Amino acid sequence: MGIESREACRNTKHVCKVMSRNAEIIVIVVTYNGLQWIDRCLGSVADPRGAIHTVVVDNGSTDGTVEAIKARFPDVELILPEKNLGFGHANNLGMKIALDRKAEFVFLLNQDAWLQPGALETMLESARKYPAYGILSPIHLNGAGTGLDYDFSKYVVPTKCPGFYSDLAVGQIKSDPYPLPFVNAAVWLVTARCLNVVGGFNPSFFHYGEDDNYIQRCAYHGFLIGVSAKAIAHHDRETRSVNKYFDPEVLELRRSVLNYSDPRTMLDPVAEKRNLVRRIIQRTISLQRTELKKALSKRKVLLDTPIDKVLDNRKKSLRVGPTFL
C-alpha cells in the first residue's frame, strides 16, 4: 500500500486489509444505508480467485450496512470516512487505491445495482479488445428484471446509440461495444489508462452531476463511452423516495455548475453575466414580463454558482493525469 493510501487509512478510519498481491480489478461501492441491496450487490462481484478485490466506502450508514458487510463479506475492504463525502469524493478514495495498487481496471458499482453472472468478464473482454473505450457499461435492467431501467432506455435511443434498439429487437446484439454519449455511473468499468489521463470525479459535484462531468472530460481527452450489450446488470431505482437533490433550485444550480465545468465549451461566466444584464434591460423596457422573469432567474442561478471554484476545477480537468485523485 502506497504512502497516500496509508494516509487515507488514518484519516478515514480505513478498515485496512492490505492485499498480498495486486488485484486485476478493484470494485468500488459507495454505500449509504444500503442494507436492503448489499447482499445482491457485493455478492455479484465476489471472487474467491482473488482477481477481483472490492473496496466499500461508507458515507455514514445508520441502518446496519457496515455491520452486515463485516459479517457477511469479510474480504471486502472498508473505508469509513468521518463524514458523508458525497458520491464523487468517496469513489475517488477507491480510485486512488486502485491506481496505487496498479489495478488494470476499476469497476464502479452503485449499492442498489448488481450484475448477472458473467457480466464483468464480458465487459473485461470488450475493454481489452477495444482500448479506445475509457468506460464500458452493461445493459441496465430494472430491479425486478422486467424491462430496461427507464433512464438507461433514454440513453440508448437511436439518435444517441445507433443500432442498439434494432439489434435488440431482432435478437442480434453485437459483441462490439455500442458507442453513446452518456451512460450513468451506476455500473461503470473504467480502464486504468482512462483514470491516469482523465483522473477522478470533479469535487465541484457533491452528489449527482459528477458522472455527466466525467464523461464531458472523457470526450475532451479522447476516450469513447460504450455499452457492452451482452453484459447485464440490474439497477433498483424503484424503491427511491423523494430526492432532495432534484428539487428545482438545486437542479438548476447543478446544471449551471455542469455547464461551466465542461472543458469542451469553456463557457465564459463574465460574458454570460453581461448578456443577462443586457437581456434584463431590454425585457424591462419592452415590458416582456415572462422573458424578464426567465432572465432574472438565470442571473440568480449564475450569481449562486461558485464560479471561482468551478473554473479552478475546470482548469485542473484540462490536465492529463490523475487529477482530483
pTM above 0.75, yes or no: yes
Residue pLDDT, tens place only, 65-121: 999 999 999 999 999 999 999 999 999 999 999 999 999 999 999 999 999 999 999
Q: Is residue 154 part of a domain?
A: yes
Give the model confidence (pLDDT) of 159-217 as tens digits.
999 999 999 999 999 999 999 999 999 999 999 999 999 999 999 999 999 999 999 99
Q: Decide if 256 is inside a domain.
A: yes
In this structure, are 153 and 297 located in the same domain?
Answer: no
pLDDT at 7: 44
Residues 195, 105 contacting (CB under 8 angstroms): no
pLDDT at 241: 62
Per DSSP, the three-state class of 202 is coil
Which residues are paired to 233 by β-bridges? 115, 140
38 in any annotated domain: yes
Same domain, 235 and 189: yes
Half-sphere exposure for 7 (CA within 13 Å, toward CB): 6
Beta strands in 167-269 (DSSP E): 178-179, 187-191, 224-235
Q: Which domain holds residue 11?
A: 3-245
Average pLDDT, the chain: 91
Q: Which regions of the chain does DSSP assign to beta strands (E)?
A: 25-31, 52-58, 77-79, 105-109, 113-115, 133-142, 178-179, 187-191, 224-235
Together in a domain, 68 and 175: yes
Round to the nearest angstrom and report the end-to-end CA distance of the chain: 15
Q: What is the CA angle 88-91-96, rounded to 5? A: 120
Categorize the per-residue pLDDT at 136 as very low, low, confident or very high, splitting at 50, 70 and 90: very high
Q: Is residue 324 part of a domain?
A: no
Q: What is the dihedral of CA 247, 253, 255, 259, to 10 degrees?
A: 180
Count the domains in the chain.
2
Q: Distances from the Cα of 7 to the Cαs of 13, 129, 185, 205, 283, in angstroms?
A: 10, 36, 27, 24, 56
Instruction: Give the integer Cα–Cα distance in Å for 3 and 6.
Output: 5
